[in-house]
Amino acid sequence: MGKVTGFIEYQREVASRRPVAERVNDWFEIYQPFSYEKVRTQGARCMDCGVPFCHTGCPLNNIIPDWNDYAYRDRWKDAIRVLHSTNNFPEFTGRVCPAPCESACVLGINEPPVAIKLIERSVIDYAFEQGWIKAEPPEVRTGKRVAVVGSGPAGLAAAQQLNRAGHSVVVYEKADRVGGLLRYGIPDFKMEKHHIDRRVALMEAEGVEFVVNAHVGDGVPVEELRSKFDAILVAGGAEASRDLPVQGRELKGIHFAMDFLPQQNHRVAGDPVAEAVSLTAEGKDVIIIGGGDTGADCLGTSHRHKAKSIHQFELMPQPPADRSPNTPWPLWPLMMRTESSHEEGGQREFGIATGEFVGDANGNVTALKTVRVGPPPTFTPIPGSEQEFKADLVLLAMGFTGPVKKGLLTDLGVELDGRGNVKTNEQYMSSVDGVFAAGDMRRGQSLVVWAIAEGRKAARGVDQWLMGESKLP
């Protein structure tokens, strides 16, 4: 329970980011080391609440107070035991999760919340350092075979769970490496990719089979899976990017974020990127449309590319500096957030809409015509606020409209819900018997932590369907 009076005695402290001037020159993770001793002090701030809102604030229902306490008590082995009991991959969430748990932290009502994310990351890092994390192959195999399509966090979590339940699991990944958006969406400065490799190696040792460069529904026929496996779980993400169909959209230099970011991950991984398709912000006037996390990732990447100027547009008005009264505790607060990429530079524009892309004779984008708009839901344009922004690279980071339907989903013939996601029952099974769905493909674009939670729940559904009952959590 931490220290009874810890929250009164100690202040919140988290790992500080490396100096901007330093970090924009490399692709390493942005955080400076933080001693485990200091992590323990942060654990002491946990109040061990009777109703730990963090525990439900977290989609995985991580039993946060317990491992906070263990960290405080220097009982790291117990801490990782409890942490792993709800979260297959804390090394991912401990780095990239926006930590809704911290927004729900009771201490956050009137003090800075407990540094839960820092503690989580420290617990798993420590456990790896100590060599405690080992493959756990199942003792008994059920003889059932499950195909998991997609190796993002949802697919990986489901695969690990199903494998531990004794099923034989094969994970299909269309890319050349395992990891999905973890691998090719999130920049290395937020999470270095060796974390994924390490985990995948463990899973392979546990008996999970990975097949890469295997695009199910495009090259790998769906029928093949149906015949070879007792169940199929699709976790292919929500990869259909939202577009901005305004005049000039066809101009060159306008790209989806997801065309831009994976390239950089390949580069860092040492893969060659074909000159013809290579995108870089170097020396360019960059405009990122979309004020969310993907936008911020584009921003950080552009900084590292040494862009000439960068603007990030957001349609919504500028949020308040502190928690908005419309999102009272313990809700995820609407408030102005300054991510590491914002620290590194660039200009943020709020309440702005792009009306037109302007191009030059060569069909290259040169500028954006914008107008300031009022608040939602009408976003009424403000007369006289028209403005033009110079741009030679525009990155569209406005989120995703849902999963790609063509191929996998159409071939499987699964029913979709009103939002275009795969419709499932409570056991995560789609309209097609034996075909399950999880992650962004089922719930639409969301957080890594949600993906893991979905993967776990879907695994339970699959197990239940295969075995009649399930003891998976």
Binding site residues, other proteins, CB under 8 A: 4-5, 7-8, 47-53, 55-57, 61, 63, 65-66, 75, 78, 81-82, 84-86, 104, 106-107, 109-111, 136, 161, 164-166, 328-331, 470-473
Between 47 and 367, CB nearer to other proteins: 47
SS3 content of the chain, % helix, strand, coil (to 5): 35, 15, 50
Between 18 and 145, CB nearer to other proteins: 145
Tell me 95's DSSP state. Answer: H
Between 3 and 266, CB nearer to other proteins: 3
Smallest gap from residue 153 Cβ to other proteins (A): 17
Smallest gap from residue 11 Cβ to other proteins (A): 14
Between 309 and 464, CB nearer to other proteins: 464
Under 8 Å between Cβ of 112 and 11: yes
Between 431 and 464, CB nearer to other proteins: 464
Q: Which two tokens stand for residue 433?
A: 């018997």
Nearest to 214 by CA among 245, 156, 171: 171
Q: Do β-strands 309-314 and 285-289 pair in parallel, antiparallel, or remain unpaired?
A: parallel
d(CA 400, CA 421): 11
CA quadruple 443, 449, 452, 453: dihedral, nearest 10: -70
Smallest gap from residue 447 Cβ to other proteins (A): 18
Smallest gap from residue 471 Cβ to other proteins (A): 4
Between 7 and 450, CB nearer to other proteins: 7
Q: Which residues contact 25 (CB under 8 A, 6 or more apart)?
A: 304
Smallest gap from residue 165 Cβ to other proteins (A): 6
Residue 224: strand, helix, or coil: helix
d(CA 301, CA 265): 10
Smallest gap from residue 143 Cβ to other proteins (A): 15
Smallest gap from residue 241 Cβ to other proteins (A): 34
Smallest gap from residue 61 Cβ to other proteins (A): 4
Under 8 Å between Cβ of 195 and 91: yes
Between 166 and 187, CB nearer to other proteins: 166
Between 85 and 347, CB nearer to other proteins: 85
d(CA 185, CA 300): 13
Q: Exposed, middle or buried, 446 (CB in 10 Å: 0-12/13-18/19+)?
A: middle
Nearest to 145 by CA among 223, 45, 81, 232: 232
d(CA 359, CA 366): 5
Between 130 and 347, CB nearer to other proteins: 130
Residue 296: strand, helix, or coil: helix
What secondary structure does DSSP assign to 52-90, as a single string?
Answer: -HHHHHSTT---HHHHHHHHHTT-HHHHHHHHHHH-S-H
Q: Which two tokens stand for residue 338?
A: 């300054």
Between 65 and 150, CB nearer to other proteins: 65
Interior/surface letters 2-22, b for 16+ CB within 10 angstroms, e for the rest: bbeebbeebebebbebbeeee
At position 449, the amino acid (one-letter code) is V
Smallest gap from residue 96 Cβ to other proteins (A): 22
Residue 414: strand, helix, or coil: coil
Between 50 and 418, CB nearer to other proteins: 50
Smallest gap from residue 133 Cβ to other proteins (A): 11
Smallest gap from residue 107 Cβ to other proteins (A): 6
Q: Which two tokens stand for residue 108?
A: 């956050």
